[in-house]
Amino acid sequence: MTSKFARFFMPAVLAASVAALAQNAALPAAPSAAANNAAAPVATNATGTRMGTINVEQAIFATNEGQRDFEVLSKKLEPKQNELKGLNDDVEALKKQLSAQGDKLNDDSRGTLVKQIEQKQKSLERQVTDARDDAQNQQNEIAQRILQKMGPMLVKYAAESGFGLIIDTSNPWPNGPVLWAGPAVDITKSVVDLYNAQSGVPAPARPAAARPTTPGATRPTTTPPATAKPQATTPPK
């Protein structure tokens, strides 16, 4: 029996938050309470005509500071991940038992086992929801902190480099505004390099850490669910 214990990667968790923060970071007014001590972006009267793109989400994770802090968070979340996986394995074991013995049990015994599965599944889902919300909050706190420092720097860099428009490509088309953009107009790496130079955080000694994950769970069922096939996504042609 294949476990339905799923993992939800950080990009899905952070997409809406990054989009909102990126919009705020380009404004002279200070963003919301999440950045009480952050400096407001530099107001400029740029007259540049160049157009550029930046993947804000990618930039956050690519910074030395982002790699360091998300790696720390990932290790912090591991014990809870393992705990929830153990609980999910318990539920799956009961489902296997029901599948193998269900037709041999009397009505009372079968009803008791079904109820036990449902109770454990509901308890697991509640714990998964709490763990996911906590992880998302911590992930967003890191992203907000980095973006509040990156925003003013990005505005200044764009003005000094002759840009009149910078578009965020974190959300691919059709969810985002950019159908296609060539690498020649992408300034993500330049902004990351500039951020790293100003932050003073050294590069990690090993390849970039995997983005933190948060666990998910399926809805309660009384019979083992069918194996879900992953959905593939393809870029627009």
What lies within 8 Å, CB to CB, of 56 at 6+ separation is 18, 21, 22, 147, 150, 168, 170
- Looking at residue 48, its pLDDT comes to 80
Q: What is the DSSP letter of 186?
A: B
- How far apart, in whole angstroms, are the C-alpha atoms of residue 121 and residue 88? 8
What lies within 8 Å, CB to CB, of 183 at 6+ separation is none
- Looking at residue 89, its pLDDT comes to 96
By C-alpha distance, which of 51, 48, 69 is closest to 60? 69
- How far apart, in whole angstroms, are the C-alpha atoms of residue 128 and residue 48? 48
Whole-model pTM over 0.95:
no
Residue type, 199: S
**Tokens found for residue 106:** 């009397």
- Looking at residue 47, its pLDDT comes to 73
Mean pLDDT by 10 residues, the chain (237 residues): 34 38 37 37 65 95 96 95 95 92 86 93 95 95 96 94 94 90 95 96 74 46 35 39
Residue carrying structure tokens 């809805």: 219
Question: What is the sign, positive or negative, of the torsion defined by CA atoms of 175, 178, 180, 182?
Answer: negative
Q: Which helix (H) or strand (E) holds 199?
A: helix 188-199
Q: Give the Cα-Cα-Cα angle 60, 186, 71 (nearest 5 degrees).
A: 20
- Looking at residue 210, its pLDDT comes to 54
- How far apart, in whole angstroms, are the C-alpha atoms of residue 189 and residue 193? 6
The answer to whether residues 146 and 14 touch, using CB atoms and an 8 Å cutoff, is no
- How far apart, in whole angstroms, are the C-alpha atoms of residue 16 and residue 108? 48
- Looking at residue 69, its pLDDT comes to 96
- Looking at residue 102, its pLDDT comes to 77
- Looking at residue 235, its pLDDT comes to 39
